[in-house]
Chains A and B, each alone.
Chain A
Amino acid sequence: MTTAKTSPSDTAPAGADTGQPLLEVNDLVKSFPVRGKGIIPRTVGQVQAVAGISFDLRAGETLGLVGESGCGKSTTGRAILQLHRPTSGSVRFEGRELVGQTARQLRAVRRDMQIVFQDPYASLNPRWTVNSVVREPLEIHHSSWGDKRIQSKVNNLLELVGLNPEHRNRFPHEFSGGQRQRIGIARALALEPKLLVLDEPVSALDVSVQAGVVNLLEELQQRLNLAYLFVAHDLSIVRHISHRIAVMYLGKIVEIGTRDEVYGRATHPYTQALLSAAPLPDPKAERERQRIVLTGDVPSPVNPPSGCRFRTRCWKAQDICASEEPKLEARGEDGHLSACHFPEVRPRES
């Protein structure tokens, strides 16, 4: 496994220094036991939801993590936050190793890394007012602040995410989906974190409010110099918000690079298929472009294909793809990382 260290890119954020990355992930593995049936369920196997991935993330930078359902992108986000304890590998935050730490040791780091969930209905306790929801992290970590200071912080947070603090005593179900997602963002920002894991933050929202949340996230990043790990399946939103993008397939990163490298000069066939399949809201472009329509579905992660995991659906697959796993390394002209034995930039219209 090669470490995915990319050179500072043309689209890197202005504020990013060239020093130590905020987050370094190395050969991260998360497997879940597969339970058999019976009176006393026994573990009959392991599914590697995340099968050894590496990348890093700098302050103020957005890394988009894209892939289809079941590729392990959400598990990656949770494993980084130690919500799912990684099976092996290393996660370093500001140089400090998180894997293997106790809950108590992790408490301090929790202030610096927070998560926003996909489902704004499920991620807010339905019995709590918006005020209590946003207060909770402050009560846990800043119990010494006193009520007045906490309350004014909550008001400021609500305002920051575009919610009227006058209505903080209302319940989540009184808000629209987009507004609920803003409540979730306010809660995540309460402890002034440096890293936000955004797990499909807009995919449950209506189109017209998605963009509002995307804009808000961009503005917050500029103002607070936040680093984002943006996990999503929607390629156009990832393209819009990310500086760099990692494409995942069956628990592995198959390609990683800057936005222009991945979207403009993709060398991995899966990335190319994914990009060509995503519909664009532009009738002319839709008519003109050539789709790569993949055959079949994603194989089960319980029993992944040997060698290259994508080979069962790949039109370029050769014998070597089954016998030898392609390493994620610099391939092609611009040298961004790709895990394919036959990397090739596809001539594309845009």
Chain B
Amino acid sequence: MTTTAGDLLTVDNLTVEFPTDDGVVRAVRGVSFTLRQGEVLGVVGESGSGKSVSSMAVMGLLPRSARIGGSIRFRDTEIVGLGQRQLEKLRGNDIAMIFQDPMTSLNPVYTVGWQLSEAYRAHHKVSKKVAWAKAVEALELVGIPQPDRRAAQFPHEFSGGMRQRVVIAMAIINDPTLIIADEPTTALDVTVQAQVLETLLRIRDETSAAIMIITHDLGVVAGMADRVQVMYGGTVVESGQVDAVFERPRMPYTVGLLGSIPHPDLLGKRLTPIKGAPPSLMNLPPGCAFAPRCPLAGPECDEAEPELVTVGVSGHTSRCLKWDELGGGDDSRDLFEHEEIGSVENPASLTQADPELAVVEDAAEVEQRMAREEGSTP
């Protein structure tokens, strides 16, 4: 991947592994992407897809036990292998992170203003008074009413949505050029979520910071992101401009994901969910990670993991051998259509331990087999 002007963050072939007692967890495999100034990248995926781990790697927040490979370049600095001290310089100054739970990001024994000004003073040599003024300014920027009064209050005096805004204020107080938001609205109610997302976008407009938003909510991505990156089984399976990916998904997983979300256009129709459970990151299938659950999968999909190939304009890529069989829209969703009653799933632990095991079987077959077994063991 070549670096061009305006590229803020370049991640190349990032790999993260965690050795555990039971084997190596391959949390992230071969992830590459770039992020430009003022761009919003949405990273979507389900639990265990590696989306959070890759963002923690960018922040240098992974535990020591993690084995990190590949390269993460922020401007001209290589982050992989950087020492703690240099990382701390980057964190909170150039790169800021917003976590899911606002309460754990704030210290309950200090006032909000104190915490904000400390965050500012950690990277700027200014007097406490100047830092406090900066704190009030940041609170105002995230839309907290009466910021001068609120700055003197403690975190528990703020409601959930307000707290998350304080966390955002903390993130932006040093004018970061990159904001990483990991499920920033998952813990919030819908109406509050709208407020927080709006705040984030306004900050992007005012400071032209790049935002990497990690979420499982495709609706949030659709509303916020310029580009989207879909992750599954620890790697990127599709990426591209939001419109292209949502309108003409070229990876069966994305198709299934989009078909799983109720949408006004789907009223009265069946949703098209994906059968089975995501793979175990310790025991990935030999070929495409999605193959065991994929309605299009053929024997060639089990041979080797497909490469990420360009499938459309402006960098639309997909990790699927059969991407051109997906016409896009409703036709491809029909692939996933099935009746829920009449087929049975095997337990997740079994299908993860043995990727070859059938995820779904016909209930009638299972019944016959059980009758046979019962007959043979009197």
Contact = CB atoms under 8 A, between A and B. Distances in A.
Contacts of A278: 190, 219
Contacts of A236: 219, 261-263
A207 B257 contact: yes
A142 B24 CA distance: 48
A213 B361 CA distance: 17
Given A165-B344, A277-B190, A297 B339 contact: no
Interface size class of A (residues with CB under 8 A): 35 or more
Nearest to A206: B46
A223 B217 CA distance: 31
B363 A159 contact: yes
A167 B350 contact: yes
A277 B193 contact: yes
Contacts of B221: 281
Interface in B156-181: 159-162
B314 to A, nearest CB: 14
B270 A215 contact: yes
Contact of B344 (A159, A212, A277, A281): A159
Contact of B194 (A219, A259, A280, A291): A291
A208 B46 contact: yes
Contacts, number: 183
B267 interface: yes
A306 to B, nearest CB: 20
B207 interface: no
Interface residues of B, number: 62
Nearest to B344: A164
Interface in B210-241: 216-223
A162 B345 contact: yes
A273 interface: yes
B349 A240 contact: no
A286 interface: yes
Q: Is the interface of B mostly helix, strand, loop or mixed?
A: helix
B222 A286 contact: yes
B219 A280 contact: yes
A165 B370 contact: yes
Contacts of A280: 219, 222-223, 263-264
Contacts of B194: 276-277, 291, 293-294
A298 B189 contact: yes
Nearest to A285: B222
B195 A283 contact: no
Contacts of A176: 277-278, 347-348
B17 interface: no
B180 to A, nearest CB: 20
A137 B48 CA distance: 34
Q: Which of B256, B266, B348 has the most CB of A within 10 A?
A: B348
Q: Which of B263, B347, B349 has the most CB of A within 10 A?
A: B347
Interface in A26-81: 68-69
B356 interface: no
B340 A175 contact: no
A295 B2 CA distance: 45
Contacts of B275: 212
Q: Which of A160, A215, A218, A236 has the most CB of B within 10 A?
A: A215
B222 A279 contact: yes
Interface of A: 68-69, 155, 158-160, 162-167, 170, 173-176, 178-179, 206-212, 214-216, 218-220, 223, 233, 235-237, 239-241, 259, 263, 273-274, 276-287, 291, 293-298, 350
The 4 A-B pairs with the shortest beta carbon distances in the complex, nearest first, are A279-B219, A211-B273, A240-B262, A176-B348
